Chains A and B, each alone.
Chain A
Amino acid sequence: MSAKRMNLREKYQRMTRDLAWKPSYQSEDDIFPQAKYEGIIIHDWDKWEDPFRLTVDAYWKYQAEKERKLYAIIEAFAQNNAQLNVTDARYINSLKLFLTGVTPLEYAAHRGFAMSGRNFPGAGPQVSSQFQSIDELRHAQTQIHTISQYNKYFNGFHDWRHMHDRVWYLSVPKSFFDDAMSAGPFEFVTAISFSFEYVLTNLLFMPFMSGAAYNDDMATVTFGFSAQSDESRHMTLGLEVIKFMLEQDERNVPIVQKWIDKWFWRGYRLLALVSMMMDYMLPKRVMSWQEAWEMYFEENGGALFEDLARYGIRMPKYWEVSVKEKNRLSHEVWSIFYNYGHAAAIHTWLPDENEMAWLSEKYPETFDKYYRPRFDHWRKHHQEHGRWYNNTLPMLCQTCQIPMAFTEPDDPTQICYRSSEYKGMQYHFCSDGCKDIFDDEPEKFVQAWLPVHQIYQGNCGGASVPEVLEWYHLKHGQDNLEYLDSQDRANWLRWKGLTEQAEAVLQKAANE
């Protein structure tokens, strides 16, 4: 006789919860030493509900199918030299930013979820964390594999792992994840699964991958959506973790709210890099940062937090600042990269006339008034005196580590300065959000490895830009500087049959 087929619920019970056991000769507290110190109180781990009820057999089946689909496309992409079909070589710089800034975070997430899976006492979150840990490793691998095709044709992809640990703006994503991983398991999943993946990740992957599709980069679309299909499960884990903590004990509510406040702000600051990618780095734009923020945060995030209101959870602190900043964020951030493009692992450029018109249309209240004059001036400077760079290092925010370029919530003409004193030393911040995070855990953030300060301490290869670039493993004149005068552009023109223009670019670059 054949055994009755188990339904989804039974199968999930058998293959997750039933695999766990009660320890007999060691105490639970010794086995799970990080389970209680964050102050989260859990009465019954069996109350954990995994809405997806995914078991390991189904997991491998679906993941294998995703991989097969992805690799078929990656191979076709390479065989067809499809890197030549993207809209414009400027687009490639968003992939450089992705590989150096985001892919190492996927790997960090792989480690982080392995640790949270180890540290949660309940079988439900152990299994979910384990799947996610494997997912994240897959994401890192598929991204490296897909983007390796571009490394054969464009500069700046050669040593992304090394750069992630050293290059000034990459300390922003790196320190974000280090902060999460050095917290306890509950804060880690609140930070990554809920605040980042559930509330904010749509703003990374959806515009990025739609942007890749718009710019004819099918390989990136495919790895992106393949990774994103796991993300739905991760987002659901994030929401489940929050609901579980809130339902277990009302004393958990203020702790969870504090984490939501912190990690919303940290994630939002990290996404500033995505805002400039959307508005400045895609030759064909999908939607503006402002539109994306309205669609994915204000609308969907708003609905989510209304859902959570019955547990006593409110919108993250300073969310209204993010709304005030939405029509200036990308312009302020692109200005940072234009200022310091001589020390970056990407090329930078000014938007052309059509792109400026798009920016005026998308940002009617701010672009023409505040940013167009700056770009016009820079363009004139480039034509008459050569490319303008800022030759003094910037002041950084102690928490998010981004140069202090953000303006007062109610005044786009005034840099926002905030500071705190701790044990006799001053610390500076770009915003109230970043200041609050420091003030809550100063012993953590006094240790921030701020790239500018590290250069002045003499820890980054030397005091001059070329020495620091060498320490970053960046080749001056090849991986950095203005796009218009770059080898990437010259090669692109040559591949498009525009040999004379290519020679002119190289000639100009040699003279500068």
Chain B
Amino acid sequence: MAVKATWDYRGEPKDTEDKFHGNQLVYVGWDQHLMFCAPHCVPLPPDMPFGALVKEVLPGMYDSHPDWSQIDWDRVEWLVDSKPFQPDMDKGLRDQGIGHKSVIRFRTPGLDGIAGAAS
């Protein structure tokens, strides 16, 4: 049984996609930049192009970091749900396998946070 109970209990999942007003939840983390204490959570339209995420969403999260302006976007390494990922900037999130509650991580080689200390 998937929960210890006195009857055949079933939980109601609280965070199904239909509850987010047409959006899906996406988590975003910039590795080695722990000045942002944890990865972020944002609701995004499933058909948002990946390029729009990079140009319109990420700056609002991260442009206060001194490393931000130095990122060479051609060298950024992406991980989606723990697997290496090659984004198609023009395609929508859902169409390239980024679903509800997916985790997008990116690494910026050579930029290791404040004082190189992963902050």
Contact = CB atoms under 8 A, between A and B. Distances in A.
Direct contact of A and B (CB under 8 A): yes
B38 to A, nearest CB: 4
Interface residues of A, number: 60
Interface of B is mostly: loop
Nearest to B13: A446
Nearest to A396: B41
Which of A184, A187, A413: most chain B CB closer than 10 A?
A413
A332 B118 CA distance: 12
A30 to B, nearest CB: 13
A255 to B, nearest CB: 10
A448 B19 CA distance: 14
Nearest to B27: A395
7 contacts: A374-B119, A391-B60, A391-B61, A392-B60, A394-B39, A414-B32, A444-B3
B48 interface: no
B16 interface: yes
B16 to A, nearest CB: 7
A184 B34 contact: no
Interface string A369-398: 111011011100100000010111111100
Contact of B64 (A33, A34, A388): A388
Interface in B51-65: 60-61, 64
Contacts of A445: 11
A303 interface: no
A80 interface: no
A183 B6 CA distance: 10
Nearest to A187: B4
Contacts of B4: 37-38, 183-184, 187, 441
Nearest to B99: A426
A359 to B, nearest CB: 15
Nearest to A406: B38
A425 B16 contact: yes
A209 B19 CA distance: 44
A351 interface: no
Contact of A405 (B38, B101, B113): B38
B26 to A, nearest CB: 10
Nearest to B16: A425
Contact of B114 (A369, A374, A428): A374
A167 B61 CA distance: 22
Contacts of A370: 34, 117-119
A425 B100 contact: yes
A391 B31 CA distance: 18
Given A183-B4, A335-B34, A377-B119, A443 B10 contact: yes
Contacts of A450: 14-15
A88 to B, nearest CB: 25
A163 interface: no
B23 to A, nearest CB: 8
A428 B11 contact: no
Given A37-B4, A395-B29, A417-B82, A453 B39 contact: no
Interface string A308-349: 000000000000000000000000100110111000000000
Interface string A276-310: 00000000000000000000000000000000000
